[in-house]
Chains A and B, each alone.
Chain A
């Protein structure tokens, strides 16, 4: 009993819990920056660690010790709570994503219906960002916050529909069970590819990356909703954005590619094999995210909402129809 709770504690705090998630988030920021730079014919981070590996951590530490300014006109409570809430929400959502099941055969936290909770948390992250922007009472922050809320109207519906489509196939609303089902059934994964594509586009908007980096468009509104944040608060927000990026990669890998579940690699403990599959799949999703960033110019907010409702929502609804047809036909 003591042994089990000790392992549980290690799982929660070190692996695959908080510490590992932070490490993964910073590593993914590094991969993202490095890959993005390579595609643009640049070097990217170079100096801290081998090939600049520790640059995201160094940035984080630097921001932590910088002066922390709270604007006199801002809503102090809202301004203080935003970074904490952002980090908490994205971490909480990550606990439901299966990485390496050590004790149980599921993620750190899991219950029937946790997919709905994760979708809710993703929406809450956007709402908290909007409140933080509003609380900072800066004209650029306000414009950024409003754009963020508009963008949420655009991508939220198709994203939710797409994330639920594997649940329909698996007959469960638990991410861990869905991952197990999809991981053992490659035809399902192929049938879900359109939904994966739409989700990647939607997450590009959720994560505010090109072509949907409208809420923090540097050339237009300085830093958008982030404008007034500095020092510790900015460090925490940046970390939570990284965690969100890793969360998006891991969540899509779990729902559409089976997460840690795949063919067992011989001569390795099953846990290690799970871990390798998880890293491979999540990193592939991450590289797709980075690649999209290099390909486009930034859309305008009205164009973005038009695009989501005219294309993404339709495709996601068609995907549901397709899956139902395949299920009825007994193909999957």
Chain B
């Protein structure tokens, strides 16, 4: 992996500590002149959250799953609680489902505007970065208004939601959305017209639809190649089957289309929230659920801001789950971004990598691949512990 090539190519390490990366990952680039010819990603994070869920009960796990990711914290609780409800074979009340949709769309707006600011920063366009992040405060305030928190909302629970949205709060949300929509028009104009920005994003980091599907890309990274695939539309969960919305795609498959898809999704989210606020049914927001979950096995899916989020849950009749497996969108997008990076200029590395909206805190999982022996295997905590003891000669 780290053999130095003699000749014109040399290696540039980006990460695990680098100004362009907010989280640790090592991307080792083989560079010929200014062109990237090869890239080796190495994911560092491992937090053992999946193992930790097995020693906590279902209620405690809501708060643990919420902390898988700092930005898309709500979608994790949504998909987890939805999975537990599937284990019990119940559904949340309709009003709770609408509230879940509203919060998850507000979260999508907050995540996409955050990403737009980061992308502008990676392009060296700090002015756009500061303005976008200033206006992102509007949606952060709305989330705080609904849930009482800015980051970990703790609003979804098994069998419903913990807080209702009153008509006054709904009015404030509508007003906030009007401000956001006006500001997004400005940023859309900047992205469409600003020549230096366009020069840096048009045709950069190309990905074909075939490659995107073959490499299992998800979310905006897939939709920016023109493939119309969205869990909200293809496999509706919660109240998404009752709410009309468009799946935003853009055919060019470069960084520009990443930006356009995400900006378009912000508009769609605004419309979804407006529709949901207007059509929210009345009724209870929560049903009572039993403490012990009967043995069952389900998968639960949701569309996180970064793409499809996948939970596998297995219960064994106790108050603790037998197994929780989380597949986060960033992990699914790493192979596609490596494909996009090959052939690019060194200067384009940050924006292409930031293009998939990487969230590495949720990426690390137990999977080992030995390239030399060409085999792969999966270890659990116990096996890894045994291996480490053996490695240090203590077993």
A294 & B127 in contact (Cβ 8 Å cutoff): yes
Alpha-carbon gap, A296 to B128, bound state (A): 9
Alpha-carbon gap, A303 to B348, bound state (A): 12
B347 within 8 A of A: yes
List, in ascending order, chain A residues with CB within 8 A of B162's CB: none
A163 to chain B, nearest CB (A): 25
A41 & B347 in contact (Cβ 8 Å cutoff): no
A138 to chain B, nearest CB (A): 11
Of B121, B127, B346, B350, most A-chain CB atoms within 10 Å: B127
Partner of B19, one of A139, A219, A302: A219
- Which residues of A in the span 44-77 have a Cβ within 8 Å of any Cβ on B? none
A297 & B131 in contact (Cβ 8 Å cutoff): no
B346 & A220 in contact (Cβ 8 Å cutoff): yes
Q: Which residue of B lies closest to A139 (CB)?
A: B12
Of A139, A214, A218, most B-chain CB atoms within 10 Å: A218
List, in ascending order, chain A residues with CB within 8 A of B13's CB: 139
B124 & A213 in contact (Cβ 8 Å cutoff): yes
B122 & A219 in contact (Cβ 8 Å cutoff): yes
List, in ascending order, chain A residues with CB within 8 A of B121's CB: 219
Alpha-carbon gap, A219 to B20, bound state (A): 4
Alpha-carbon gap, A330 to B348, bound state (A): 51
Q: Which residue of A lies closest to B129 (CB)?
A: A40
Q: State the total of A-B contacts with C-beta under 8 angstroms.
A: 79
A323 to chain B, nearest CB (A): 29
B200 & A143 in contact (Cβ 8 Å cutoff): no
Alpha-carbon gap, A219 to B15, bound state (A): 11
Alpha-carbon gap, A302 to B130, bound state (A): 27
B128 to chain A, nearest CB (A): 8
- Which residues of A in the span 296-332 have a Cβ within 8 Å of any Cβ on B? 296-303
- Which residues of A in the span 215-272 have a Cβ within 8 Å of any Cβ on B? 217-222
Partner of A214, one of B19, B134, B347: B347
List, in ascending order, chain A residues with CB within 8 A of B348's CB: 300
Residue count of chain B within 8 Å CB distance of chain A: 31
List, in ascending order, chain A residues with CB within 8 A of B197's CB: 296-297
Alpha-carbon gap, A300 to B122, bound state (A): 12
Of B200, B345, B347, most A-chain CB atoms within 10 Å: B347
List, in ascending order, chain A residues with CB within 8 A of B199's CB: 297, 299-300, 303
Q: When A219-B350, A294-B127 are in contact, do A301 and B200 touch as well, CB less than 8 Å?
A: no
A299 & B19 in contact (Cβ 8 Å cutoff): no
A299 & B126 in contact (Cβ 8 Å cutoff): no
Chain A window 7-47, contacts with chain B (Cβ cutoff 8 Å), 1 for yes, 0 for no: 00000000000000000000000000000000111100000
B123 within 8 A of A: yes
Chain A window 192-222, contacts with chain B (Cβ cutoff 8 Å), 1 for yes, 0 for no: 0000000000000000001101100111111
A150 to chain B, nearest CB (A): 9
B131 & A40 in contact (Cβ 8 Å cutoff): yes
A218 & B19 in contact (Cβ 8 Å cutoff): yes
List, in ascending order, chain A residues with CB within 8 A of B134's CB: 41
B235 within 8 A of A: no
Q: Which residue of A lies closest to B123 (CB)?
A: A297
B387 within 8 A of A: no
B349 & A220 in contact (Cβ 8 Å cutoff): yes
Alpha-carbon gap, A221 to B12, bound state (A): 9
Alpha-carbon gap, A140 to B200, bound state (A): 21
Q: When A139-B12, A211-B196, A218-B19 are in contact, do A296 and B347 touch as well, CB less than 8 Å?
A: no
Chain A window 282-303, contacts with chain B (Cβ cutoff 8 Å), 1 for yes, 0 for no: 0000000000001111111111
Q: Which residue of A lies closest to B124 (CB)?
A: A298
Alpha-carbon gap, A143 to B11, bound state (A): 11
Alpha-carbon gap, A41 to B346, bound state (A): 31
Q: Is the interface of B mostly helix, strand, loop or mixed?
A: helix
Of A140, A219, A221, A222, most B-chain CB atoms within 10 Å: A219
Q: Which residue of A lies closest to B119 (CB)?
A: A297
List, in ascending order, chain B residues with CB within 8 A of A294's CB: 126-127
A145 to chain B, nearest CB (A): 13
B18 within 8 A of A: yes
Q: Which residue of A lies closest to B118 (CB)?
A: A219
List, in ascending order, chain A residues with CB within 8 A of B260's CB: none
- Which residues of B in the span 94-129 have a Cβ within 8 Å of any Cβ on A? 120-128
Q: When A220-B346, A220-B350, A300-B200 are in contact, do A295 and B10 touch as well, CB less than 8 Å?
A: no
List, in ascending order, chain B residues with CB within 8 A of A214's CB: 347
Q: Which residue of A lies closest to B350 (CB)?
A: A219
B127 & A295 in contact (Cβ 8 Å cutoff): yes
Q: Which residue of B lies closest to A211 (CB)?
A: B196
B345 & A300 in contact (Cβ 8 Å cutoff): yes
A217 & B34 in contact (Cβ 8 Å cutoff): no
Q: When A139-B10, A143-B12, A297-B200 are in contact, do A221 and B127 touch as well, CB less than 8 Å?
A: no
List, in ascending order, chain B residues with CB within 8 A of A300's CB: 199-200, 345, 347-348
Alpha-carbon gap, A222 to B15, bound state (A): 10
Q: When A40-B127, A210-B126, A219-B124 are in contact, do A299 and B200 touch as well, CB less than 8 Å?
A: yes
B168 to chain A, nearest CB (A): 30
B124 & A301 in contact (Cβ 8 Å cutoff): no
Q: Which residue of B lies closest to A143 (CB)?
A: B346
Alpha-carbon gap, A143 to B35, bound state (A): 12
B194 within 8 A of A: yes
List, in ascending order, chain B residues with CB within 8 A of A221's CB: 346
Chain B window 55-75, contacts with chain A (Cβ cutoff 8 Å), 1 for yes, 0 for no: 000000000000000000000
Chain B window 13-31, contacts with chain A (Cβ cutoff 8 Å), 1 for yes, 0 for no: 1000011100000000000
List, in ascending order, chain B residues with CB within 8 A of A39's CB: 127
B256 to chain A, nearest CB (A): 12
List, in ascending order, chain B residues with CB within 8 A of A298's CB: 123-125, 196, 200, 347
B121 to chain A, nearest CB (A): 7
Closest 8 CB pairs of A and B: A298-B124, A297-B125, A219-B20, A296-B196, A297-B123, A219-B350, A40-B130, A297-B197
- Extra contacts besides A139-B12, A219-B350 (14): CB < 8 Å: A40-B127, A140-B12, A210-B125, A222-B19, A294-B127, A296-B194, A297-B128, A298-B125, A298-B200, A300-B199, A300-B345, A300-B347, A300-B348, A302-B345
B interface, CB within 8 angstroms of A? 10-13, 18-20, 34, 120-128, 130-131, 134, 194, 196-197, 199-200, 345-350
A interface, CB within 8 angstroms of B? 39-42, 139-140, 143, 210-211, 213-214, 217-222, 294-303
Q: List 25 A-B contacts (CB under 8 A).
A: A40-B126, A40-B131, A41-B134, A139-B13, A140-B12, A143-B12, A210-B125, A211-B124, A213-B124, A219-B350, A220-B347, A220-B349, A222-B19, A296-B194, A296-B196, A297-B124, A297-B197, A297-B199, A297-B200, A299-B200, A300-B199, A300-B345, A300-B347, A302-B345, A303-B199
